[in-house]
A and B are shown apart, each in its own frame.
Chain A
């Protein structure tokens, strides 16, 4: 099956620093990638949709200047949390969809803890 690799699996950072999370499709070309955020005991909330080579589309209420998304190639998307604060602590999950496909393949998630 299709594999999506997400790194790092966990990260601890100081308040005010920036953190980059990578999402790679290992055996398929991901024309569309999605970034989700999940707080404890809650569901996955879509943050943004990124298509290769174009700007990401952010969901309402998600600050595009704080959560920078880059989808520069068909196998890599990155999410950068800029000037992280404790309230940004969460589980971030990426998913990818191949061209013409309908199924989403999910990464293993990144637990971000901001001190």
Chain B
């Protein structure tokens, strides 16, 4: 069981807006920044969002992050077939003194 909870799957059609949730607690998401990673099959993870809502250079503005209380969300607008991947949220957990990840969400573009 992961400390951060994500839905195992999500889907959408091209052009749609999809959101992926990440639920945590007062010891992680509520007090610390959230990070989102994109991982294609057989490849290393790639940073998508840092500090809850910041995009690294090169990440399209179709990707956005938000945080409220003990939950965070990743939104993908204008969905494209190349967005089909696994998405993970992460945060520092003060109680565990370690970084925790969500279990991952497999995004399917129908």
Interaction A to B:
no
